[in-house]
Amino acid sequence: MDELLERLAEIADLERMAMLLAWDQEVVMPPAGAEARGELRATVGRLSHERFIDERVGELLESAAPRDELEADVVRVARRDFDKARRVPGELVAEMARAGVAARGVWLVARQTNDFALFAPHLERNIELRRRYSACFPEAEHPYDPLLDDFEPGMSTAELREALERLRDGLVPLVAAAPDVDASLLRAGPFPEAGQRALVTTVLRAVGVDDEQWRLDDAAHPFEATIATNDVRLTTRYDEAELDSLYSSLHEFGHGLYEHQVDPALARTSLGTGASSAWHESQSRLWENMVGRSPGFWRWCFPHARAALPERFAGATWQEVQRAANAVRPSLIRVSADEVTYGLHIVLRFELELALIEGSLAVADLPAAWNERTQAYLGLDVPDDVRGVMQDVHWAEGIFGYFPTYALGNVIAGQVWARLNADLPDLDERFAAGEFAPLREWLAEHVHRFGRRLLPTDLLQRVTGEGLDPTPYLDYLEAKVQTSAQLMS
């Protein structure tokens, strides 16, 4: 057992190293270091994989005799990870990585000339390789299951499909009913960079960031990197035309807080991180949207925003800013979508990638299918593939099974939020007083501390007493849309 724990600790360390290599590359590395960095990242990734799928780990897992409940969880999760990793040939893993790098390069070129045909064969190759990956798990009910399972352990395609259909059917009429609110208080500058930095710092300090255990840096594409429970690194970017830095910081804070509040006893095991991609996204979206667009948050935040950015906020009220923060307007690009339309962007991607993996949709027919659903769900015409099917990097990199976790994250956040408000009915008043500790502590106690000890659906059952259910999230959005509509009339 001790040897097993040591080996798993080594692998956990290598994964942290990989994280540090990525953070360093995005945030501080001199540009010319990129080539050597690719080698370093490949070496750490290969070592971590090789050391895990080693025969010896199999023997240790076979004969492991856990001495307490924590060790039992470690062994159970490690066995699951090990079985999955062992069944995929190293050749196929390497091939998927190579094809993804190649396809990503072509995707970048194809975007410049809006040339989907150039990209199509590479996308086909990525899909074929994922189908081969799925075939390593012949017991799967659906070829999408093994892909989804990499991000949502234990979740079935059938369960996911049902949840996202219900989400879609709730969102389409909601989007159609949403009034067209003016969002320019947050989406039309000037927002001078220095003022944004001051505001982001104030907000992050209030929600729980300190210099002892956290960093905040600039990055072209904001992300969060946990190097250790007590070394959590957020990034954001500053665009003077909009106040996205505030929401992206809260989003990354949600990811970081999850990792920060995992039980320290799980450090250096396979359990010392979030339960799944959707659970992680639930936490980032909870802070970004449920907290950051709430009335209480803006009652507290507005004086700070006005002090930091008088150019934009001098003549406004907190109510106006909060309304702007909840504006709904269908748009073509997922990453800049509002909270309500966002889910439809995801459902569309999920439905299409499911069809691609099933083989019921040919790559040649993908752009038309994309454009048709964009019209059906969002009421928009897609003018070109750059603003359509080629807008995201995921498929180019060969990532299938990940998109739905964005929507699942929102669904889970809705269920957690409902539970939270039942437990802490004065939450919005607390936010208005700048008090975020009750929320942090509730999340630590009910969600974060468990790390990967529970499967995603078991965690959901434990937190909410329910299975996956989009209703609370739809109710939450509907209440917002109704409030907006009442204010308009």
Under rule CB under 8 A, residue 39 binds its own copies: yes
Distance between CA 12 and CA 270 in Å, rounded? Answer: 6
Under rule CB under 8 A, residue 316 binds its own copies: no
Query: 215 or 394: whose CB is closer to its own copies?
Result: 215
Under rule CB under 8 A, residue 392 binds its own copies: no
Under rule CB under 8 A, residue 265 binds its own copies: no
Under rule CB under 8 A, residue 91 binds its own copies: no
Question: Pick from 5, 43, 179, 442: which binds its own copies (CB under 8 A)?
Answer: 43
SS3 readout for 375-415: HHHHCCCCCCHHHCCCCCCCCCCCCCCCHHHHHHHHHHHHH
Under rule CB under 8 A, residue 29 binds its own copies: yes
Q: For 350, phi and psi rounded to 5 degrees?
A: -60, -50
Under rule CB under 8 A, residue 9 binds its own copies: yes
Distance between CA 70 and CA 283 in Å, rounded? Answer: 24
Q: Please, what is the minimum distance in Å from the beta carbon of residue 212 to its own copies?
A: 5
Q: Please, what is the minimum distance in Å from the beta carbon of residue 449 to its own copies?
A: 17
Q: Are 8 and 268 in contact (CB under 8 A)?
A: yes
Q: Please, what is the minimum distance in Å from the beta carbon of residue 441 to its own copies?
A: 19
Within 267-296, which residues bind its own copies (CB under 8 A)? 267-268
Under rule CB under 8 A, residue 160 binds its own copies: no
> Using alpha carbons only, what angle is made at residue 233 by residues 230 and 239, rounded to the nearest 5 degrees?
155
Query: 14 or 443: whose CB is closer to its own copies?
Result: 14
Query: 52 or 473: whose CB is closer to its own copies?
Result: 52
Under rule CB under 8 A, residue 213 binds its own copies: yes
Under rule CB under 8 A, residue 21 binds its own copies: yes
Under rule CB under 8 A, residue 30 binds its own copies: yes
Q: Are 297 and 430 in contact (CB under 8 A)?
A: no
Q: Please, what is the minimum distance in Å from the beta carbon of residue 223 to its own copies?
A: 16
Distance between CA 413 and CA 352 in Å, rounded? Answer: 24
Q: Are 249 and 237 in contact (CB under 8 A)?
A: no
Q: Are 459 and 445 in contact (CB under 8 A)?
A: no
Select which of 242, 252, 339, 397 is catalytic: 252
Q: The tokens 């709904």 sit on which residue?
A: 328
Q: Under DSSP, is residue 66 helix (H, G, I), strand (E, B) or coil? A: coil
> Using alpha carbons only, what angle is made at residue 373 by residues 341 and 244, rounded to the nearest 5 degrees?
30
252 classed as catalytic: yes
Q: Are 440 and 310 in contact (CB under 8 A)?
A: no
Binding piece for its own copies, criterion CB under 8 A, among 18-26, 113-121, 299-307, 383-391: 18-26
Under rule CB under 8 A, residue 14 binds its own copies: yes
Question: Pick from 1, 10, 304, 384: which binds its own copies (CB under 8 A)?
Answer: 10
Under rule CB under 8 A, residue 214 binds its own copies: yes
Under rule CB under 8 A, residue 258 binds its own copies: no
Reported as type and span, the H/E element at residue 233 is: strand 231-236
Q: Please, what is the minimum distance in Å from the beta carbon of residue 252 to its own copies?
A: 15
- For residues 222 to 251, the per-residue mask of contacts with its own copies, x marking binding by CB under 8 A and - elsewhere, is -----xxxxxx-------------------
Under rule CB under 8 A, residue 478 binds its own copies: no
Q: Please, what is the minimum distance in Å from the beta carbon of residue 12 to its own copies?
A: 9
For residue 178, what are the contacts with CB-CB under 8 A and spacing of at least 6?
328, 329, 340, 481, 484, 485
Q: Are 472 and 415 in contact (CB under 8 A)?
A: yes
Under rule CB under 8 A, residue 36 binds its own copies: yes
Query: 11 or 123: whose CB is closer to its own copies?
Result: 11
Q: The tokens 């320019």 sit on which residue?
A: 184
Distance between CA 283 and CA 409 in Å, rounded? Answer: 8
Q: Please, what is the minimum distance in Å from the beta carbon of residue 11 to its own copies?
A: 9
Under rule CB under 8 A, residue 215 binds its own copies: yes
Query: 28 or 65: whose CB is closer to its own copies?
Result: 28
Q: The tokens 């059917």 sit on which residue?
A: 169
Under rule CB under 8 A, residue 115 binds its own copies: no
Region for 379 from its dihedrals, namely left if φ exceeds 0, alpha if ψ lies in -120 to 50, beta otherwise: left
Distance between CA 310 and CA 239 in Å, rounded? Answer: 17
Q: Are strands 214-218 and 231-236 parallel, antiparallel or unpaired?
A: parallel
Under rule CB under 8 A, residue 444 binds its own copies: no
For residue 38, what are the contacts with CB-CB under 8 A and spacing of at least 6?
none
Q: Please, what is the minimum distance in Å from the beta carbon of residue 81 to its own copies?
A: 19
Q: The tokens 């970017």 sit on which residue?
A: 237
Under rule CB under 8 A, residue 37 binds its own copies: yes
Under rule CB under 8 A, residue 16 binds its own copies: yes
What is the CB neighbour count within 10 angstroms for residue 219?
Answer: 17
Q: How many residues bind its own copies (CB under 8 A)?
A: 36
Under rule CB under 8 A, residue 49 binds its own copies: no
Q: Looking at residue 228, what DSSP letter applies?
A: E
Under rule CB under 8 A, residue 54 binds its own copies: no
Question: Pick from 1, 5, 22, 40: which binds its own copies (CB under 8 A)?
Answer: 40
* Active site (catalytic) residues: 252
Q: What residue ranges bind its own copies (CB under 8 A)?
A: 9-10, 13-14, 16-17, 20-21, 24, 28-33, 35-37, 39-40, 43-44, 47, 211-215, 227-232, 267-268
